Amino acid sequence: MRILAIVLFALGLLVGGSVGAALLLHLTIPGLSWLVAVGLTKLALLTSAGFLGAGAVAARSGGAAVSKPQLVAASPDRAS
């Protein structure tokens, strides 16, 4: 599960970073209406957020599979 979380985080970072770089460099797709370009940008950023969120869920659920030591209450017989 941990590998899946890392892959999803990486995909989210890649998609979001590429959209951010394209916005900073003013890259455009020739022949594409500005309204469609805005819609594609929003969808790409939403996809990036979805990948990051899925990675967080996968990391959290993968960490729950590992048993953590539990504190045991002291019995009255053993109290000193």
Mean pLDDT of the region 50-76: 79
Report phi then psi at 66, rounded to 5. Answer: -80, 125
Dig out the tokens for 38 from the structure. Answer: 């805005």
**Are 57 and 8 a contacting pair, CB within 8 Å?**
no
Return the pLDDT at 72. 72
- For residues 37, 41, 43, 44, the Cα torsion angle rounded to the nearest 10 degrees is 130
Please give the helix or strand (H or E) that residue 10 lies within, else none: helix 2-24
Q: Is the pLDDT of residue 23 over 80?
A: yes
